[in-house]
């Protein structure tokens, strides 16, 4: 190969790598948020990845990742908070947390806030998991 071809391949690799470098956490968040079973998907994360997604979801820089949009950020933080409560609280405390969160969302649900309706559905799934 000539030096020109090698240089071109190296430059192309760097450009291609930089285009896709900032999407790892965003893609993981979206795979969780839009999964058929998001409660199960977030529950399967190891603690390190779980904590990194929290920092990422609240907008803190994580390895130069592109940020989530505002709706995905709200959804991810709600899902993260519920999963974190499940991991750190006892069953009774977690049940109370779910009930209080349902009550806080009630007004937004009455107003037709689609994100709150979705979050409320996730809380129901957490409650079902808690019962079985």
pLDDT at 18: 41
**pLDDT higher than threshold 50 for residue 118:** yes
Candidates 32, 35, 40; CA nearest to 56 is 32
User: What sign does the dihedral 110-116-118-121 (CA atoms) show?
Assistant: negative
pTM (2 d.p.): 0.79
Over residues 33-86, the pLDDT tens digits come to: 999 999 999 999 999 999 988 988 888 767 777 888 999 999 999 999 999 999
Place 132 in a pLDDT band, splitting at 50, 70 and 90: confident
**pLDDT higher than threshold 80 for residue 13:** no
Count CB atoms within 10 A of the CB of residue 53.
22
pLDDT at 59: 82
91 touches 127 (CB < 8 A): no
**pLDDT higher than threshold 50 for residue 17:** no
């Amino acid at each position: 190969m000539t030096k020109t071809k090698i240089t071109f391949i190296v430059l192309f690799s760097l450009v291609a790598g930089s285009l896709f470098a900032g999407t790892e956490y965003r893609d993981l968040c979206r795979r969780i948020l839009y999964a058929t079973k998001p409660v199960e998907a977030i529950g399967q994360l190891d603690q390190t990845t779980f904590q990194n997604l929290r920092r990422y979801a609240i907008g803190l820089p994580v390895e130069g990742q592109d940020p989530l949009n505002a709706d995905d950020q709200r959804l991810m933080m709600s899902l993260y908070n519920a999963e974190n409560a499940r991991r750190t609280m006892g069953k009774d405390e977690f049940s109370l947390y779910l009930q209080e969160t349902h009550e806080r969302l009630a007004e937004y649900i009455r107003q037709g806030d689609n994100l709150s309706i979705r979050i409320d559905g996730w809380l129901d799934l957490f409650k079902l998991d808690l019962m079985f």
